[in-house]
Structure 1
Amino acid sequence: MVAIAAAWLLATALCLRNGRSAAPASAASTGGDAVLVAWASQTGFASALAERSAAMLRAGGREVVVLPLDQVDATRLAATRRALFVASTTGEGDPPDHALGFLRRMDDRDLAHLEYALLALGDRNYAAFCGFGRQLDAWLRDRGARPLFDRVEVDNADEAALRRWQYEVARIGGDAAAADWSAPAYHPWRLAARQLLNPGSQGGPVHALSLQPASGALPAWQPGDIAEIGPGHPPQQVAAWLAATGLDGTAQVDAGDGPQPLAGLLARSVLPDPDGVRGLAPQALAARLQRLPHREYSIASIPAEGRLQLLVREMYRQDGTPGLGSGWLCRHVPVGGTVDLRLRSNPGFHPPAADRPLVLVGNGTGIAGLRAHLAARIAAGARRNWLLFGERNAACDLFFGDELRRWQEAGWLERMDLAFSREGDRAYVQDRLRAAAAELAAWVDAGATILVCGSAGTMAPAVDTALATILGAERRDALREQGRYRRDVY
C-alpha cells in the first residue's frame, strides 16, 4: 500500500500545486453554507485525498473548509449542514493518532441537520478493515446525520473505489467536468441495440442498451457491478469548437495512445476555452487535453445472457441540452458504433448466498441492478425472491414488465409489489413496505438480505426510515453491519 499511496500523494500534490484556483482552507467561509471536508490521516494519504476532494468542490463553485478531524468540534458540526469525511484506519481498526480523542470528546447532540459522505481507507490484510471509518459512520448515523450516499471503502488505494468517490463528490456539487483521478483504461464495446422503453412517459425517456465487446469474449462480472462509460461530445459540438479556434480537425495528433485525428481526441476530451488555445499547434493542444470524466451505470444483465445491458434515462442540463453521459449513449452513439467502457467491481452490492431469501427494493432505472440480481438468482435456482418497485405510471414506466410477470408466473418471483405515484392510490415503494410490515419482518427472520437500488435523494431515505419503523432502528443497523441491508443509490 505504501508504494501505491506514495504515487497518489505525488499526483495529488502536483494537481493541487498546478490546478488550485481558490483560496486555501484557512481563508474559506466558516458559515453553514460551506462544505466541511474533515480528514483523519496517519501517512498523509487521507489528507491528500481530502484536499483533492475540496479542490473539486471549489471548482464547482462551493465554499469549503478543510480541517483535520482533531480540529472539528461539536460547535462546528452543529453549524455545518454538509460534510465530507476521509478517514484512515491504522493498526487493528484504530483511528490515526491525531484522531484518537475525537469520538471521546464529542457530545451526544442531535446531528439530524447534517448531510455527509464518508470515504474509509483501509487494508483487507487486517481483520478490522476500515475499522475507524466504519466506527465514524456508525457514530454519525446514530446521531441522526444523513448519508448522501453509502460509505465508500478503499482497499490499498484501489483506483476503482477512488473513482467512485470522485464520481459521487462531483454529483453533490463538485466539478462535474473534472478529469478522472486515475488514467482511464477503457476497452471498446459495440452498441448492438438501443430501445426506448417508455414512450409517452411523464418522466425522461429511458433506453435499454445492449453492448458487446468490439473484439474478444464477453468478460465476467457479478450482479451489482458497474459499467463506467467514457462519454463523448456530439460531432456538431466538436465542429463548432474547431471553427471557433481555426484548428484543423483532420490533423494527426498523439496523446499517448497512438496517432488519431484531432477531432476524434477532442470528442473525448474536456473542451478548453477557444480563446486560450488559439495559435497552438494541434500536437501542443493534444498534450494539454484532459479526458472527459466517466459516467456510471448499473449493469442490468449477467454474462450468461450473452450481452451487457444498461438502462439509461436521458438527463438534461439547465439550458435543456442533453447530459454528457446520457446524451452520448441515448442520442449520439449510432447503433453499431463504439462505446468506451470499463467494468468496476462493486462488492458492496454483490449477491447473497442463493439459499437465502432476497428482498429487492427500487425505483426508476434502479430496476437495472435489481434485474441482474433476479437473473442470477434464477440461474442459480433460487426462488425466494421479493421485488418492490416504484415508478410514475404502470402503462409507460414498468421497465422489464413483461419479463417480470413471466418470472412471477413461473415461480421465480415469490412476491412482487408495485407502486405508481401518478395513478391509482399514488403510492411509493416505502408505502408498500409499510403495508407488508409483518411479511417483511418474517423474511428478515428467515435470513433475508435487503438490496435497495435507485434514487438517493428521495426513495432511499424513505425506505431507510420505513425499515427503521418496521424492524426497529437497532435491528436495521445490525442488518447493515451484517451486510444484509445494502444499497446502490445515486
Structure 2
Amino acid sequence: MKPFLLLAGLAFIALLPWLQPSRELSALLAVLAWLGVCLHGWRQWRAGRDDTRPGDGLPVAYASQGGQARAIAERSAAQLRDAGLPARALPLEALDLRRLAQPARLLLVASTYGDGEAPDHAARFERRLLGERPDLRALEYAVLGLGDRQYAHFCAFAQRLDRRLRELGATPLFDRLEADRADPAVLRRWQQQLGRLAGDTRFDDWQEVDYQPWTLIRRQCLNPGSQGAPVFHLHLAPNDSAADWRAGDIAEVGPCLPAERVAVLLERLGLDGGEFQADGRPLAWHLARRQLPEDARELTGLSAAELLERLPRLPHREYSIASLPGDGRLELLVRQMRHPDGRLGLGSGWLCHHAAPGATIDLRVRANPGFRLPADGGPLILIGNGTGLASLRAHLRERERLGRHGHWLLYGERNAAHDRFFAEELETWRRDGHLARLDLAFSRDQAASVYVQHLLREAADELRAWLARGASLLVCGSLQGMGREVDALLHGLLGGAEVEHLREAGRYRRDLY
C-alpha cells in the first residue's frame, strides 16, 4: 500500500459537494472505509520501510548475569544515538520473534554463564528460539560475546545464538566478536563496527575500569585451622569521597603485583622505579598494575613510556560486597586461592597477603541489578556456601534496616569448629527473629557429607509453604556443586514451569561463580 492512495481518498472527499444528494451518504461511508484501508496500508508501508517502529530505534539486546553485558549494551546504544542513529538497550527476553521476521537489524551483547549457560533471564528466550522456526531471512544482526577463557565453554551462549540465527536465515552484519574478560581491544573493535553502522566513526573509547583509591583498614582470617583455604574478612574505606551501593552489588578490585617482583624487573631492565611518569605517578606504581612477562629480554632497551605502552593492565577481580554503605565501610569475604604450583592467586593474593593494612586498594563498586531486590519484597530464602555468604549477609542487613524480618538462611561450609563465618551475628538474628530459620550444613563433620541441597530437600514441604507466602529465593556461592544441584533440586521439587515463573517474577535470583 502506497501513500498516494491516501491522497486519492482525500481527493475523493473534495468531490462530495458535486455528488447527487441521494448518493451522498453512501459515498461518505465508502470514503470513510477507504480511508481506514489507506491508513492501515500506510502503517504497513512504514513498518516495512523502517528497521523498527517509530521511536523504538535499533535494538541492542543484552543477556547479562552480573550486569556487565547490560552496561556494554547501554554504552553501545548511547554511542549509536550520539552518532545520530536511534537505538535502545533492552533485555533479550523483551524481543518479539515475530517482529524479527520483518526487515530489521539487531545487535546482541551476550554473556555466557558458568559452563556455557545462558544468563538466567535469557534462558527462556533461548528455548523459544530453539523451539520455534521463524523466517528470519530479512534480519541483519551482530553478536558480541562476553566470557572468560578459563572456562571450557568460552562464549558458548553467544555462539549458540549466532549459530541459531544463521540457521533461521538471518545475515550477520559482521563476524561475531568474543571478548575475554571484557578485553578492551575487542570492545574497541565492537565500537568501530558500531561507528560503521551509524556512518560516524568518531567516538570516545570506552575507558578501562575507573578505579577509586580505597584504604585497607583491617584484615582478619576467619577460619584458622580449617581444612579449606584461608578465608579473610576485609574492611575498606574510600579515600576521596563517599561511595554508594546496594545489597547484591559487586566490588571490582584492580590487583597489584608484589613490590619484590616489580623490583626484579626494574633491575633487569636498568630502569629507575622512582621515575615519575606523565600522570605524576612513579614507574614502579604503574608496573605493579601491569602483566609482567616471565622472560624480560623482549623488553630490553625500551624506555619507561614504551614499556608501559607494551604491557597490558592486570585484569580486575570481582567480589560480592558483604556490607552496606550505612556500615561506614565496604566489607569483603575473600578466600585465598593458590595455583597448582603454589603461587597465590592474583586478586586474592593481593588482598589477603601482599597488601598490608593501610595500603591503597584500586576498587570500583559495580551495580549488580540481577541480584538486587525491591524494598517491598516478601521473606527471603537465602541459600549459599563458602564466601557466597558475603552477599547473603548484605541482603539480611538491608532487610533488617527496612524492618522486614522473618527470613530463612541455608548455609554450608566444611567444619563447624573452624568455618562458622559471622557466627555471632547469625545467632543474634536467629534469637531476635530476623532469621525465622537457620540451617547450617558442615560437610566434613560426619562420615557422609551433608550439603545445603540436602537440607533443602529435607525441608521440601516448608520450602513450598514459604514460596506460597510470596518468599523469594536467593542463591549465592559456587556454581559447580551447590549452584547446579540446588537448581536441579528446585526443578524436581517445584517443577520446571514453577521455577521459570519464579525466575520471571524476580523471585529466583542467583549470583554464582
Same fold (TM over 0.5): yes
How far apart in 2 are the matches of 1:134 and 1:293?
Answer: 28
Question: Compared with structure 1, are the counterparts of its residues 92 and 453 closer, same or farther at alpha carbon in structure 2 (3 Å cutoff)?
Answer: closer
Change in CA separation of 1:414 and 1:469 when aligned onto 2, cut-off 3 Å: same
Shift of 1:176: 7.0
Aligned to 1:262: 283
Of stretches 208-217 and 437-446 in structure 1, the one that deviates more from structure 2 is 208-217
What is the CA distance between 1:89 and its match in structure 2?
Answer: 5.4
2:467 and 2:94 map into 1 onto residues whose CA distance is: 34
**Cα offsets for 1:250-307 (capped at 9, x unmatched):** 22223xxx12211110001112451221101112212333211110000000111111
Counterpart contact for 2:375–2:402, Cα < 8 Å: no
1:237 matched residue in structure 2: 261
What amino acid is aligned across from residue 344 of structure 2 in structure 1?
Answer: P
- CA offset digits 1:315-350 (Å, max 9, x no partner): 112211100000000011110110001011001100
The C-alpha deviation readout for 1:139-163, integer Å capped at 9, x for no partner, is 5999xxxxxxxxxxxxxx9xxxx9x
Other-structure match for 1:475? 498
Structure 1 residue 179: deviation in Å?
A: 6.1
Matched AA of 2:151: I
Secondary structure of 1:253's match?
coil
1:420 to 420, 425, 442: 442
TM-score normalised by structure 1 residue count: 0.68
| Alpha-carbon distance, 1:467 to partner | 0.8
Q: Relative to structure 1, is the Cα distance of residues 306 and 89 closer, same or farther in structure 2, using a 3 angstrom cutoff?
A: closer
- Kindly indicate whether residue 148 of structure 2 is the aligned counterpart of residue 169 of structure 1: yes
Deviation at 1:363, TM superposition (A): 0.2
CA contact (8 A) 2:235 2:330 kept: yes
Change (3 A) 1:376 1:293: same
- Does residue 213 (structure 1) correspond to residue 246 (structure 2)? The answer is no
Call closer, same or farther: CA 1:469–1:90 in 2, change over 3 Å: closer
Q: How many Å separate the matches in 2 of 1:191 and 1:141?
A: 49
Q: Mark the CA change 1:90 to 1:140 in structure 2 (over 3 Å): closer, same or farther.
A: closer
Match of 1:172, as an amino acid?
A: Y
**Alignment partners' CA distance in 2, 1:423 and 1:284:** 56
> What pairs with 1:8-27 in structure 2 (closer than 5 Å)?
none
The structural deviation recorded for 1:137 is 3.4
1:347 matches 2:369: yes
Instruction: Give the 3 Å change call, closer, same or farther, for CA 280–177 of structure 1 in structure 2.
Output: farther
Q: 1:329-340 maps to which residues of 2 (within 5 A)?
A: 329-340=351-362
Secondary structure, counterpart of 2:435 in structure 1: coil
Tell me if structure 1 keeps the 8 A contact 2:115–2:151: no
CA–CA distance in 2 between the matches of 1:208 and 1:228? Answer: 16
1:93 to 93, 96, 101: 96
Structure 2 unaligned segments of length 5 or more: list them: 1-56, 63-89, 104-113, 132-142, 155-179, 188-206
Confirm or deny: 8 A CA contact 2:93 2:125 kept in the other structure: no
Structure 1 residue 375 corresponds to structure 2 residue 408: no
Distance 1:437 1:88, change over 3 A: closer
CA distance 1:403–1:461, shift in 2 (3 Å): same
Percent identity (aligned): 47
CA separation in 2, counterparts of 1:232 and 1:295?
11
- For the 8 Å contact 1:177–1:292, the answer to whether it is kept is no
| Deviation readout 1:19-75 (Å, 9 max, x if unpaired) | xxxxxxxxxxxxxxxxxxxxxxx989899xxxxxxxxxxxxxxxxxxxxxxxxxxxx
CA deviation vs aligned residue, 1:389-425 (integer Å, no higher than 9, x gap): 0010011111111110011011110000111110135
Count of residues in Structure 1 that have an aligned counterpart in Structure 2: 364
Corresponding residue of 2:173: none
- Contact 2:332–2:390 (CA under 8 A) maintained in structure 1: yes
RMSD: 3.3
Contact conserved, 1:192 with 1:336, CA < 8 A, in 2? Answer: yes
Work out the CA distance in 1 between the residues paired with 2:299 and 2:182. 18
Q: 1:242 to 1:44 in 2, by over 3 A?
A: farther
Residues 252 and 259 in structure 1, CA contact (< 8 A), matched pair in contact too: yes
Distance 1:140 1:202 in 2: 46
Distance in 1 (alpha carbons) for counterparts of 2:473 and 2:486: 11
- Partner Cα distance (2:94, 2:336) in 1: 46
Task: Give the aligned partner of residue 326 of structure 1.
Answer: 348
1:441 to 449, 452, 464: 464
Q: Partner residue of 2:322?
A: 300
State how far apart, in whole Å, the 1-side matches of 2:92 and 2:429 are: 45
Instruction: Confirm or deny: 8 A CA contact 1:354 1:377 kept in the other structure.
Output: no
What pairs with 1:244-259 in structure 2 (closer than 5 Å)? 244-254=268-278, 258-259=279-280
Secondary structure class of the residue paired with 1:414: strand
User: Contact conserved, 2:235 with 2:332, CA < 8 A, in 1?
Assistant: yes
Residue of structure 1 in register with 2:33 after alignment: none
TM-score (norm 2): 0.65
**AA of the residue aligned to 1:418:** L
Distance 1:176 1:242 in 2: 28
Matches within 5 A, 1:111-130: 115-118=115-118
**2:379 partner letter:** P
Change (3 A) 1:44 1:139: closer
Give the Cα separation in 2 of the matches to 1:222 and 1:46.
25
Contact 1:408 1:414 in 2 (8 A): yes
Which protein has the larger Cα radius of gyration, Structure 1 or Structure 2? 2
Question: Which of the numbers 406, 409, 432 marks the counterpart of 2:455?
Answer: 432
The letter for the 2-side match of 1:188 is P
SS at 1:232's partner residue?
Answer: coil
Which ranges of structure 1 fall in alignment gaps of 5 or more residues?
A: 1-41, 48-86, 101-113, 121-129, 143-156
| Other-structure match for 1:277 | 299
The aligned residue for residue 214 of structure 2 is 189
